[in-house]
Amino acid sequence: MRLKTALRDMMACHALRLLAMYLPWPVFFPLAKWLSRFEWLFRNETEAAWLVASQVLGVVDERGWKARCRLTRIVDQVDAFIAARASDSWVGRNVVVTGEWPDQACVAVTFHFGTGVWALRHMRSSGRRNAFLSATVTREAHAQRPCGYQAELAHLKAVEEVGGASIVPVGGSIVKMSKLLREGISIVGLIDVPGVHAKHRATVHFLGHAASFPTGLLFLAETEHAPLAVFTCKLDCASGKRVLNIHDAGPASPDRMQKVVDVLATAIVQDSAVWHFWPNLQGLVESPLHPQDAPT
């Protein structure tokens, strides 16, 4: 069993990355689709996500949903390395974009959804350097999967190359992010994270539940008078292209967080298999999970 787990981790952490870096995308993508048929790949992550998504949204096509989930994870595992090497012309041909980034340095937020690194790459290809806000990677967090630690470090290094700026570590980073915005560097962050102190969270309606999300990035945008953008990016399973949707969150207002979450919740309901954080949903909501009555 340990050998099987080690081989599975090796495949997820290293083999996929090497294949994606050395195979042309038109060759790697069909391979990724073929691999997504195998249930052993990302088994734990896929099963945990399905357990929650099927309960909350009532998804019925289990086999198709899980294959879509696995394919998204396969591609997301390697996309930072592909994006770091991709030319601007390749981005123009292979990233389908709806909406536009603000004209000035902005704060851009999303969830752990789809293949989001291409938003950073598209932003960079349009002349906008950006810094990604990330939790610090520790060996302790990967004690059960040692290869995961090195893989995560390599991934964040690639993200830095994609955005053209250093990773901003979570925790006490408001001053640093304010400085970056004033220097013309946009800030990109994920807001579907539990664990932030309650006074730095806002409670809104999400997938039929009251749920709370961290307010730090919205506060940053408001205090620095920076535009706030909301985006999603995912894989088109038919063409292999990435689909990037950019939304203007509008001016600061008491219901701004709700507007942001509504955009992201709609994307999840439309393509639920590509949200990576289904297993973390209970940490966001304030009551036991129950089936959603309507997509809100």
pLDDT tens per residue across span 59-112: 889 999 999 999 999 999 999 999 999 999 999 999 999 999 999 999 999 999
CA separation for the pair 125, 120 (Å, rounded): 9
Residue 1 pLDDT class (50, 70, 90 cuts): very low
The mean pLDDT value for 227-231 works out to 98
Whether residue 202 contacts residue 215, with contact meaning beta carbons closer than 8 Å, is answered with yes
Give tens-digit pLDDT for 251-266.
999 999 999 999 999 9
Confidence of residue 125 (pLDDT cuts 50, 70, 90): very high
Amino acid symbol at 170: V
pLDDT computed for residue 292 by the predictor: 61
Instruction: Give the tokens for residue 141.
Output: 């967090």
Where are the extended beta strands (E) located within 5-70? none
pLDDT the model gives residue 55 = 92
Mean pLDDT of 158-186: 94
How far apart are alpha carbons 261 and 267 in whole angstroms? Answer: 10
Sheet holding 95-98, edge to edge: 95-98, 242-248, 228-235, 107-110, 186-190, 130-134, 168-169
User: In this structure, how many other beta carbons lie within 10 angstroms of the beta carbon of residue 8?
Assistant: 16
Radius of gyration of the chain (CA): 18
The percentage of residues in the chain with a pLDDT greater than 90, rounded to a whole number, is: 76
pLDDT at 288: 79
- Arithmetic mean of pLDDT, 115-134: 97
Q: How large is the average pLDDT for residues 34-43? A: 92
Report the mean per-residue pLDDT for the chain. 91
What is the CB neighbour count within 10 angstroms for residue 41?
Answer: 18
Question: Tell me, what's the pLDDT at 154?
Answer: 87
Q: What percent of the chain has pLDDT over 70?
A: 89
pLDDT in tens, 210-225: 999 999 999 999 999 9
CA atoms within 13 A on the CB side of 181: 23
Sorted by sequence, the CB contacts under 8 Å of residue 228 that are 6+ apart come out as 106, 107, 108, 109, 217, 218, 221, 248, 249, 250, 252, 256, 260
Give the model confidence (pLDDT) of 265-287 as tens digits.
999 999 999 999 999 999 999 88
| pLDDT tens track for 17-29 | 889 989 999 999 9
**pLDDT at position 39, please?**
93
Indicate the range of 18-27, 90-99, 130-139, 153-162 predicted with least confidence.
Answer: 130-139
Q: 129 phi and psi, to 5 degrees?
A: -70, 150
